[in-house]
Homo-oligomer: A and B are copies of this chain.
Amino acid sequence: MTHQKFLNQCLELANESVKNGDHPFGSVIVLDGKVVASSANEVVTLGDVTAHAELRVVQKAQQVFESEELARSVLYTSTEPCPMCAGAIYWAEIDHVVFGCSQEQLYSIVRGGLELKAHDVFKTGARQIKVEDFSSDYRFIKQHKDFWTK
């Protein structure tokens, strides 16, 4: 139930991305039940291919968090993180990730990315990261279908 609330916020951020001319991805970081940082995808807006929602939300969270707090937080994201973002999450020492649309679902709609699951990046690290998959919730893949196939 709590997960759903924060995943819904990611969906809303992803919708905002589209309104801004960006791609539909959104992410929030939650500490002690409160959102402390959020970001939509800003690749087009910032003219920066690295401005994925998860990388940006990690960068923003660092400005308000001590690293010990970041380590206790949960990162929610509308779509499973790509390897770049999984790496950023690892370096930030966040150890809990919850995502909506899975990579398999995303790449069934739009190709061209790195088809390497977040878990497969994380498992090469020295620290365990818990990953929860909410891809059975149809709204997350629908958001991509509506955007990429319109």
- Residues of chain A touching chain B, judged by Cβ–Cβ distance below 8 Å, are 47-50, 55, 58-59, 62-63, 82-88, 90-93, 111-116, 121-122, 124-127
Contacts and interface: CB of A to CB of B under 8 A. Distances in A.
Contact of A92 (B49, B87, B90): B49
Contacts of A82: 87, 91
B88 A114 contact: no
Given A49-B62, A50-B59, A62-B49, A111 B126 contact: yes
B88 A50 contact: yes
A42 to B, nearest CB: 12
A87 B83 contact: yes
B121 A91 contact: no
